[in-house]
């Protein structure tokens, strides 16, 4: 496999894991559309960082819970760069929703962002990609749900089903794979005690890092072209613990 050329669109790429993926894809020679919803200044910083390193990128705003926005984000990528070769569905929300108190609005917000958003971004991308790949960022908890986060875990189980269904539907021209990370960057409201507890339940005895996810993206982008419908689990062993 050579260095991938072409254009990547990474959703939710203004911050955290998405930003790391966007920068890594640029380092692999791709032009990158850095999508954001509210983190405009962070997204612009990612674009500037890519440009300083000699890459090409643009920032595109949109709310992926809106189907029209999913289509506009993809169309703006095409208007800017003329093609799309790789979509990384990374944008998501994650917050505590105990069964007894979860609201309909919380359910809708979670499922509409993580699952519906990924579905309609993928559909819009598939319409314009002649040949390429979609990578969905799922979560190991889509395979073994956390208590107190059911809408999130169910949405990520849906992302895994979406990956397999799209892989069948879009073959042979578009490969569709998922990455299922374990704990990588904890939300700000997790305290030290919770972090220690998570590490204690992780066989490899550490949290993952964005670069662990990035390495899986790199592998899918340039390491193989004979993989579709697969889920790469990067969870420090949580699934077997
Ligand atoms: N962090 C972890 O440890 C971990 C573990 C397992 C799986 N994952 C998965 O890995 C991916 C990245 O994780 P992360 O923690 O870096 O994500 P994150 O910070 O929680 O969210 C990433 C981005 O999603 C965007 N987003 C949220 N709602 C949106 C909407 N309606 N429309 C458009 N964009 C929206 C936000 O963009 P703005 O900031 O611009 O609003 C946000 O910056 C996610 O899919 C997550 O579920 C993460």
Decide: 113 in ligand 1 pocket, CB within 6 A. Answer: yes
Mean pLDDT (the chain) is 97
**Section 118-124 average pLDDT:** 99
The label of the residue with tokens 């998922």 reads: 178
C-beta of 64 in contact with ligand 1 (< 6 A): yes
How many angstroms separate the CA atoms of 12 and 18, rounded? Answer: 6
Dihedral sign, CA of 95, 228, 214, 132? negative
Cα Rg, the chain, nearest whole Å: 17
* Residue 106: how many other CB atoms lie within 10 Å: 16
| Tens-place pLDDT, residues 172-218 | 999 999 999 999 999 989 999 999 999 999 999 999 999 999 999 99
Using a pLDDT cut of 90, give the percent of the chain over it. Answer: 96
Best CATH choice for the domain 7-233 from the list 2.60.120.20, 3.30.230.10, 3.40.720.10, 3.40.50.720: 3.40.50.720
152 catalytic, yes or no? yes
Residue 11 Cα, ligand 1 centroid: separation in angstroms? 8
Ligand 1 and 12: CB distance under 6 A: yes
Number of continuous H segments (helices) and E segments (strands) in the chain: 8, 7
- What is the reported pLDDT for 4? 62
């Amino acid at each position: 496999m050579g260095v991938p050329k072409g254009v990547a669109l990474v959703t939710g790429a203004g911050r955290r894991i998405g930003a790391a993926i966007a920068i890594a894809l640029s380092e692999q020679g791709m032009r990158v559309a850095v999508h954001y919803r509210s983190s405009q200044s962070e997204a612009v910083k990612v674009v500037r960082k890519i440009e300083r390193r000699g890459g090409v990128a643009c920032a595109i705003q949109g709310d992926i819970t809106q189907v029209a926005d999913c289509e506009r984000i993809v169309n703006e990528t095409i208007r800017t760069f003329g093609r799309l070769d790789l979509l990384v569905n990374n944008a998501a929300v994650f917050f505590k929703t105990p069964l007894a108190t979860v609201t309909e609005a919380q359910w809708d917000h979670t499922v509409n962002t993580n699952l519906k958003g990924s579905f309609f971004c993928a559909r819009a991308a598939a319409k314009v990609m002649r040949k390429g790949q979609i990578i969905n960022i799922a979560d190991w908890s889509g395979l073994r749900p956390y208590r107190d986060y059911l809408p999130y875990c169910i949405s990520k189980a849906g992302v895994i089903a979406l990956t397999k269904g799209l892989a069948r539907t879009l073959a042979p021209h578009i490969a569709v794979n998922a990455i299922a990370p374990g704990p990588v960057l904890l939300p700000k409201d997790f305290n030290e005690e919770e972090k220690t507890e998570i590490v204690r339940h992780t066989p490899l005895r550490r949290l993952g890092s964005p670069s662990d996810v990035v390495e899986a993206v790199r592998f899918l982008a340039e390491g193989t072209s004979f993989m579709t419908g697969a889920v790469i689990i990067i969870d420090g062993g949580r699934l077997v613990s």
